[in-house]
């Protein structure tokens, strides 16, 4: 039903966009902020859009910079960091009802614009919505559905508009800002934090906070136009279109803490048994080495072979070592090379150093990884110890 409404609205709005309309003095332009939806990770951060309404001409448009399609090249482009999004134009009432049906709050900020300013924005949006102009290269932190709205006003009005970021008292990094929205998405939080490197551990500026819809809304509440040396608030009034109803979100016991805690417990039991029997459970070491080695290769590719700039300089490579792929080949060998014992000793020390310097690392690693890295360290140390004993016999 939601898709049908969107298709209908696309047709309606495409007809209107084909005409060069001038807004009447009864028109208004608003910023819309939509609450998060924890059922999908890409909706967990909320959403932003621009609304243009003119009752004199039957206009009620919803400008959405968060549109993408699953075409034949989507996954390839996503992997390469070439994520192309576009500006879509829809009927506001149909989209409003869809967000309400999903129990996502809707806040509307009606902007105090002159007629000339409203027309300037509307003209720009109509131009931007044309097929040859609507597509842009998406960047989650710097060029997304929220920052594009900020940039529409910043680019059109230059120094006339001022965003007063003094209301932001926190000193979050970009990573810490993102983590605040993923409390109910622990596996998504873990995956994102493993894949993203040092660049997102920089302290976010108030301007950069606006990559998140909540902060875009707050920033517009604190934005001003300079008119004859006087600061005039950008937002004329704020309307709560819909308030979300309280929902109980069930937390699954299948979460990273429990899973990795279980892996650590099993690893301790197996390692104690191996120590007592003076033998090695090669199958467990093979799984650990293969998994971390493959992950390390993926992280290296994200860093050097794609345009995912946020994936550069990733400190997760200190424990997800690509060289573990080489080591795993020799786990089941009857005659292991001499270097393998030294290698296990090296990675055991390296993982231990990661654990004891956790809070000091320039990149914030996800705390869910602590029990897993403890398990890895234990197995690496066990292999080093058994290797040393074997060499002495």
From the list 53, 47, 9, 3, the residue with the least C-alpha distance to 28 is 53
CA separation for the pair 251, 189 (Å, rounded): 14
Which residues are CB-contacts of 327 (< 8 A; sequence separation ≥ 6)?
A: 289, 293, 340, 343, 344
Residue 94 falls in which region: left (phi positive, over 0), alpha (psi -120 to 50) or beta: alpha
Alpha helices in 68-222 (DSSP H): 74-80, 92-101, 115-128, 147-157, 174-179, 186-195, 213-221
Going by C-alpha positions, the residue among 310, 305, 303, 377 that lies closest to residue 344 is 377
User: Which burial class, exposed, middle or buried, applies to 36 when counting CB atoms under 10 A from its CB (0-12, 13-18, 19+)?
Assistant: buried
User: How many helices, marked H, and strands, marked E, lie in the chain?
Assistant: 13, 10
The token pair at 297 is 């290769």
94-106 CB burial, b ≥16 within 10 A, e <16: bbbebbeeeebbb
Using CA atoms, how far apart are residues 170 and 204, in angstroms rounded to an integer?
10
**DSSP state letter for 154:** H
Report the sign of the C-alpha dihedral through residues 176, 181, 183, 187, in that order. Answer: negative
Beta strands in the chain (DSSP E): 28-34, 47-54, 59-67, 84-91, 106-111, 135-137, 161-163, 223-227, 230-233, 235-242
Q: What is the pLDDT along the chain (393 residues), one digit of tens a residue?
A: 444 444 445 444 444 443 467 899 999 999 999 999 988 887 899 999 999 999 999 999 999 999 987 665 665 666 677 788 999 999 999 999 999 999 999 999 999 999 999 999 999 999 999 999 999 999 989 999 999 999 999 999 998 999 999 999 999 999 999 999 998 899 999 999 999 999 999 999 999 999 999 999 999 999 999 877 788 999 999 999 999 998 887 888 899 999 999 999 999 999 999 988 888 889 999 999 999 999 999 999 999 998 889 999 999 999 999 999 999 998 888 788 889 999 999 999 999 999 999 999 999 999 999 999 999 999 999 999 988 877 776
């Amino acid at each position: 039903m939601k898709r049908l409404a969107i298709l209908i609205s696309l047709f309606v709005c495409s007809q209107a966009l084909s005409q060069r309309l001038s807004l009447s003095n009864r028109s208004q332009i608003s910023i819309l902020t939509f609450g998060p939806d924890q059922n999908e990770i890409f909706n967990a951060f909320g959403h932003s859009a621009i609304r243009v309404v003119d009752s004199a001409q039957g206009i009620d448009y919803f400008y959405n910079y968060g549109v993408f399609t699953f075409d034949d090249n989507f996954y390839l482009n996503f992997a390469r960091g070439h994520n192309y999004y576009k500006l879509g134009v829809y009927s506001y009432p149909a989209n409003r009802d869809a967000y309400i049906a999903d129990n996502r709050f809707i806040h509307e900020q009606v902007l105090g614009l002159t007629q000339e300013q409203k027309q300037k924005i509307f003209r720009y949006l109509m131009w931007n919505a044309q097929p040859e102009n609507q597509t842009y290269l998406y960047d989650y932190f710097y060029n997304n559905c929220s920052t594009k709205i900020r940039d529409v006003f910043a680019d059109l009005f230059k120094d006339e508009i001022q965003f007063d970021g003094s209301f932001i008292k926190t000193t979050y990094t970009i990573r810490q800002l993102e983590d605040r929205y993923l409390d109910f998405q622990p596996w998504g939080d873990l995956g994102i934090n493993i894949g993203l490197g040092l660049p997102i551990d920089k302290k976010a500026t108030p301007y950069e906070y606006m990559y998140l819809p909540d902060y875009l809304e707050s920033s517009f509440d604190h934005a001003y136009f300079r008119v004859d040396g006087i600061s005039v608030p950008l937002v004329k009034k704020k309307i709560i279109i819909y308030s979300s109803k309280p929902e109980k979100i069930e937390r699954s016991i299948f979460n990273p803490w429990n899973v990795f805690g279980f892996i650590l417990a099993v690893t301790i039991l197996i390692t104690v048994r191996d120590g007592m029997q003076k033998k090695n459970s090669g199958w467990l070491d093979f799984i650990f080495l293969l998994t971390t080695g493959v992950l390390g290769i993926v992280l290296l590719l994200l860093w050097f072979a794609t345009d995912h700039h946020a994936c550069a300089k990733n400190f997760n490579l200190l424990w997800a070592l690509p060289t573990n792929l080489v080591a795993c080949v020799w786990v089941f060998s009857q005659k292991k090379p001499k270097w393998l014992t030294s290698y296990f000793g090296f990675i055991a020390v390296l993982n231990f150093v990661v654990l004891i310097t956790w809070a000091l690392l320039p990149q914030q690693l996800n705390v869910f990884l602590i029990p897993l890295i403890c398990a890895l360290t234990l197995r690496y140390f066990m292999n080093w110890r058994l290797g040393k004993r074997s060499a002495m016999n």
